Amino acid sequence: MLIAASVLLILIAFGLPLFVRPKDLPEEVPESPTRYLDERRATVYENLRDLQIEYRMGKLSDEDYQAAKKELQGELATIMAQIDEVLGGAA
């Protein structure tokens, strides 16, 4: 009896997906064209915050802080321009 119930459960588990109609499935949410760029932008902002914390703690000299900050801000400007380009092309 236990074996029969187990076999029945296995058949139901493997057979049920065969009866799902495509119209019953939820619609796929389209992926944002700027998702990757948004993630990069968030990472750069996080790096800027970490850089500022390290500078305030005295781990970085003023020259090193300014150089690293300028580099990260340049990268951020590039990312923002790419986002504008993608969104401008989509509009």
Local confidence band at 83 (pLDDT 50, 70, 90 cut-offs): very high
* pLDDT at 89 exceeding the cut of 70: no
Residue 57: what are its φ and ψ, rounded to 5°?
-80, -10
Cα torsion for 66, 71, 77, 83, to the nearest 10°? -140
> 31-67: per-residue pLDDT in tens?
888 899 999 999 999 999 999 999 999 999 999 999 9
Residue 90: the pLDDT is: 56
- Whether the predicted pLDDT of 76 surpasses 60: yes
Going by C-alpha positions, the residue among 37, 50, 49 that lies closest to residue 76 is 37
Joined together, the tokens standing for residue 76 give 């951020």
Q: Does residue 11 or residue 72 have the better pLDDT?
A: 72
